[in-house]
Amino acid sequence: MKKLQLASLALAVSAISAPAFAQSSVTIFGVLDLAARSVKNNDTQYQLAGSGLTSSRLGFRGVEDLGGGLKAHFWLEGALDPDTGNAGGQTWQRRATIGLQGAFGEIRMGREKNPSGLTWEQLDPFADTGMGAVGRLQLANGLVPTGGSYASYPRSSNAISYYTPGSGFFASAMVAAGEGALGNKHVGGRVGYNAGNLFAVVSYGETQVTSGIDLERFTLGLTYDLKVAKLYGMYSQSEAGAAEQDNYLVGVQVPVGAFTLRASYHMMEGGGSISNREAKQYSVGAQYNLSRRTALYANYADISNTNTALTVATGSALSTGRDSSGYEFGLRHSF
């Protein structure tokens, strides 16, 4: 009888304390990336600048196993400026999410990349980072109406997102509340296939830029890994009121031993009320891996503008219609 009572007590204590034994982990991670850079807009400016290969960042992420295949997780990630050491006023603006993951897929709440922003990044051999970033041509002068605002590239705040489980075919959707601020209210989604050598995706995003006008962006593209080279292709169309914009990109990434070579050609053409605007971007880059976490790199980019003023990087002012170009040599370390 005493043995039976002791066994029952042990089971009761185990049931009560089970949550305390759920597996959990917290990871601290980051990237420091700095380059000696020259940017030629109206004037040439020499800089020590960050995020030429990978965006500098500091982050914390954690997961707790709740049992039954259900997990809770969080992710806090903010940008760093290692050239000045500035991390003051850190807002975790790169990503700040909390969520649940299970057989049903994944739900996240907070700020993160939206479907359109993530799609542009994955279809760019430069991963939308540095001088060669695809995002340099994502917003022509005049696409957003005067008095409007657009804050939904590549991330959205106040968002709830859903991601399907598994590999192969995938889909995701996001709804972000504007909370009274123009440029923040956003809905978007994407579907695609990612298996073997092929990645193909279609995305759509809609952002309120004025009280009566939404900016709509449709994107499709693919990458195909031939092992000796990875090919990239993207087409995107954006509309806001009477203004239209088309973006076309082709690119390649080639592994050669410890080197990775990159190149892309990206063209933006305006339509409707901005039909006289055009920009063409040529980008080349090389990365040499000293280890799995440390790399040297060099990039060069040039943007030729027609009735717009898009730049390869922040520097001096650029007059409408003038070209922007630059080069950089840098070091990236991940931890």
Cα separation of 152 and 154, whole Å?
A: 6
The predicted model scores a pTM of 0.91
The ranges assigned to domains in the chain are 45-82+92-334
DSSP letters spanning 176-213 = E--TT-TTT-EEEEEEEEEETTEEEEEEEEEEE-SSS-
Taking only the tens of pLDDT, the chain with its 335 residues reads 443 343 444 444 344 444 444 678 999 999 999 999 999 999 999 999 999 999 999 999 999 999 999 999 999 999 999 999 876 567 899 999 999 999 999 999 999 999 999 999 999 999 999 999 999 999 999 999 999 999 999 999 999 999 999 999 999 999 999 999 999 999 999 999 999 999 999 999 999 999 999 999 999 999 999 999 999 999 999 999 999 999 999 999 999 999 999 999 999 999 999 999 999 999 999 999 999 999 999 999 999 999 999 999 999 999 999 999 999 999 999 99
What are 16's two structure tokens? 């009560």
One-letter amino acid at 240 equals A
Angle at CA of residue 174, ends 140 and 190, nearest 5°: 70
What are 164's two structure tokens? 């399907």
Cα separation of 19 and 247, whole Å?
A: 51
How far does the chain reach from its first CA to its final CA, in angstroms?
57
45-82+92-334, what's its fold? Answer: Porin (2.40.160)
Residue 221: strand, helix, or coil: strand
